[in-house]
Amino acid sequence: MEFNSSQSIYLQIADYVCERILLKEWKAEDKVPSVRELAVQLEVNPNTVMRTYDWLQQSGIIFNQRGIGFFVSSDGPQHALAAKKKEFMEKDLPVFFRNLYLLGMKWEDLREPYQQFKQQFSSK
């Protein structure tokens, strides 16, 4: 995973976990990688992953079974979706609207490329 400097690493890891959940790679009640496993996989400090897991727990996305590990909450996918929507609305959408405005583009200009993207993404 490549990290960017515009957002805290632990939040970027949280995005990664939420994406796995939203793509249904990790389903409700599934065990998620341990702190150490994910730290090794993403090449980060385990303390950073622990901070991510704390944030995800507070957000209701995962829960901890003491001595067993972390699991996706039964309503974790809904919480992950809500968190990702909020982030998109607050961070990405204003930039997107600004670019549309600056480029003089209309909604109709986006219909075809968006349909192609959806078709391409759903075939993966």
pLDDT tens for 41-90 read: 999 999 999 999 999 999 999 999 999 999 999 999 999 999 999 999 99
* CATH (residue range 9-76): 1.10.10.10
- In whole angstroms, give the CA distance from residue 46 to residue 13: 12
Q: What are the start-end ranges of the H helices in 6-124?
A: 9-22, 35-42, 46-58, 76-87, 93-103, 108-122
Buried b (16+ CB within 10 A) or exposed e, 84-111: beebeeeeeeeeeeeeeeeeeeeeeeee
- In whole angstroms, give the CA distance from residue 10 to residue 49: 6
pTM: 0.84
Hey, where are the domains in the chain? 9-76
Q: What is the per-residue pLDDT for 1?
A: 81
- In whole angstroms, give the CA distance from residue 66 to residue 60: 16
| pLDDT over 80 (residue 124) | no
